Amino acid sequence: MTRPKAVIIGPPGSGKTTVGSRLAERLSVGFRDTDADVEAVAGKPVGEIFIDEGEPRFRELEHAAVRTALAEHDGVLALGGGAVLDEGTQLLLAEHTVVYLEVGLADAVKRVGLASARPLLVLNPRSQLKRLLEERLPVYERLGTITVSTGGREPDEIVDQIVKEIS
């Protein structure tokens, strides 16, 4: 059965795209990101989907993208930051190697920057991120089969740890 070598989850700014793509290079496998898959299906960037069609529609498209990617991708798969909130997605993840990238509020704020392109963080990135972390941390913790701390660590060092833990 085809399945990803690793599925990467975590909050915005945890480094899912950055670390996930380097992990894929290191393992010589393909990298896929469900945010990009949703953008390809919708024909527009995530931010525009939120504005034109609303968050519930984005979440529907995202769940479909996760289901498809889990079934057909055999490399490294990064999920959008909020994908894990969907109960159907939580069930699908139960059979996978799920890497949770842990990040604290201060680092996440620094990494997403003040002028964020992320639709959920446009108004007040710090307070939005704080609320989002509080709400989601228990879910990330529960779903991660491997938890990797990213604070004060370079992406390549994080990749080293993941490679060790999944092999």
Ligand X SMILES: Nc1ncnc2c1ncn2[C@@H]1O[C@H](COP(=O)(O)OP(=O)(O)OP(=O)(O)O)[C@@H](O)[C@H]1O
Ligand Y SMILES: O=C(O)C1=C[C@@H](O)[C@@H](O)[C@H](O)C1
Q: Which residues are at the interface with Mg ion (CB under 5 A)?
A: 16-17
3-state secondary structure of 141: helix
Exactly one of 47, 153, 165, 166 binds ligand X (CB under 6 A); which one? 153
- The rounded Cα 21 to chain-centroid distance in angstroms is 12
State the Cα–Cα distance between residues 63 and 96, nearest whole angstrom. 16
55-94 footprint of ligand Y as x/- string (CB under 6 A): -------------------------xxx------------
Q: Does 20 bind ligand Y (CB under 6 A)?
A: no
Q: Which of 3, 96, 111, 126 binds ligand X (CB under 6 A)?
A: 111
Smallest Cα–Cα separation from 117: which of 32, 18, 50, 43? 50
Residue 26 binds ligand X, judged by CB under 6 A:
no
Question: Which of 5, 22, 23, 81 touches ligand X (CB under 6 A)?
Answer: 81
The residue at minimum Cβ distance from Mg ion is 17
From first CA to last CA, the distance across the chain in angstroms is 18
Q: Is 46 in the site for ligand Y (CB under 6 A)?
A: yes
The Cα-based distances of 83 to 136, 137, 166, 167 in angstroms read 11, 13, 22, 26
Q: Which stretch binds ligand X (CB under 6 A): 12-20, 84-92, 141-149, 159-167?
A: 12-20
Asked whether position 32 contacts ligand X by CB under 6 A, the answer is: no
Question: How far is residue 110's CA from residue 60's CA, in Å, rounded to a whole number?
Answer: 30
Task: Identify the residue among 5, 6, 10, 144 touching ligand X (CB under 6 A).
Answer: 10
- For CA atoms 31, 7, 48, 123, the dihedral sign is negative
Q: What is d(CA 129, CA 144) in angstroms, rounded to the nearest whole number?
A: 20
Residues that bind ligand X (CB under 6 A): 10, 12-19, 35, 81, 111, 118, 150, 153-155, 158
Contact residues: ligand Y, CB under 6 A: 12, 35, 46, 80-82, 118-120
